Amino acid sequence: MKKNILSREITKKRFIFYLFIMDIILVSQVMAGSFAVRPFKVFLESKKTTALKVRNTGEEKVTIQIMAVAWRQDEEGQDRFEPTKEIIFFPKILSIEPEEERVVRIGYRGEWPKVERAYRLFLRELPLERPGKTAIKIALELSIPLFISPIEKVRKTKRIEEIEIEKVSIEEMMKPPKRKVEVEGEETRSVPSKKMLVVRVRNRGNRHLIIKKVEVIGLDGPKREIFFKEVRGQCILAGVSKPFVIEMSPEEYQGSELIKVKVETERSSVEAEWQVNSEE
């Protein structure tokens, strides 16, 4: 029984990870239940208009509502969405018959930026109600990244790309640093809590970056490998600093003296070394 529960949990986590990767990597088409959208990442460069194609891949008519929001990332690299009037599109509501395709026209009416601006288009399937039926259908929602390229890109000047490992640190996880464990016949002893290795990466360029992976290697005194871990699939908007968190066990933390970090993007990579006790 426990094995089946664990198997389902692993499958669930893999599915969520897959959706996240699909949300940030450029693909030609993405599907959400009964409808498909292409392209899945929209750029506005030399012109202020473009098109998005939405196709009904199901067996019933679908109605889709579209909303545009400004997309930014806060100091912790978390996504934040705000209302915007800079992105215009038509139509705002689509009714599509099975196997049919509709085109959504998208435009930008803001000033052309010196640093890339990011937005999101949310496509939400509206539930179909039928008289006399009480069946519940889950409304699906899809998020499409939309980027306004910087004026430097429009004028065909060199793209500015600079990725920096801004800081590496070890912090306590968000729980009491130690817990007491009662052992029968023995004195109360302390059990060390887990640590988290925080690698803060800054995008100093003028466009968003896709971080393919962050690799971390822990070495002991004689430079023997204690652990190897990696984090995959993250997007960093222009000018944003984003923390990547890697959980460490007490053994990994106590046994490591040197930590090597490598951050790899779609076009380049950067490396750094950090002494574990340098902050203590």
Q: Which CATH number fits domain 28-128+137-154: 2.60.40.10, 1.10.287.3510, 3.40.30.10, 2.30.30.60?
A: 2.60.40.10
Pairing state between β 195-203 and 163-172: antiparallel
Report the pLDDT value the prediction gives residue 166, as an integer from 0 to 100: 92
pTM: 0.74
Is the Cα torsion angle 16, 20, 25, 28 positive or negative in sign? positive
**Nearest partner of 68 among 52, 88, 51, judged by Cα:** 88
Q: Which tokens go with 38?
A: 């292409």
Q: Which residues of 233-271 are buried (b: 16+ CB within 10 A; e: fewer)?
A: bbbbbbebbbbbebebeeebbebbebbbbbbbbeeeeee
Higher pLDDT, 260 or 129: 260
pLDDT reading at 273 higher than 80: yes
pLDDT reading at 137 higher than 80: no
Report the pLDDT value the prediction gives residue 144, as an integer from 0 to 100: 95
Most confident of 44-58, 100-114, 177-191: 100-114
Report the pLDDT value the prediction gives residue 18, as an integer from 0 to 100: 40
Report the pLDDT value the prediction gives residue 5, as an integer from 0 to 100: 42
Report the pLDDT value the prediction gives residue 259, as an integer from 0 to 100: 95
pLDDT reading at 203 higher than 80: yes
pLDDT reading at 81 higher than 90: yes
Q: How confident is residue 3, by pLDDT bands cut at 50, 70 and 90? A: very low
Domains 28-128+137-154 and 163-279 share a fold: yes
What is d(CA 118, CA 235) in angstroms, rounded to the nearest whole number? 11
pLDDT reading at 224 higher than 70: yes
CATH fourth-level superfamily of 163-279: Immunoglobulins (2.60.40.10)
Domain locations along the chain: 28-128+137-154, 163-279
pLDDT reading at 178 higher than 50: no
Q: How confident is residue 250, by pLDDT bands cut at 50, 70 and 90? A: confident
Which segment of 100-104, 105-109, 150-154, 160-164 scores lowest on mean pLDDT?
150-154
**Nearest partner of 209 among 188, 230, 239, 189, judged by Cα:** 239
- Calculate mean pLDDT across residues 74-81: 92
Q: How confident is residue 151, by pLDDT bands cut at 50, 70 and 90? A: confident
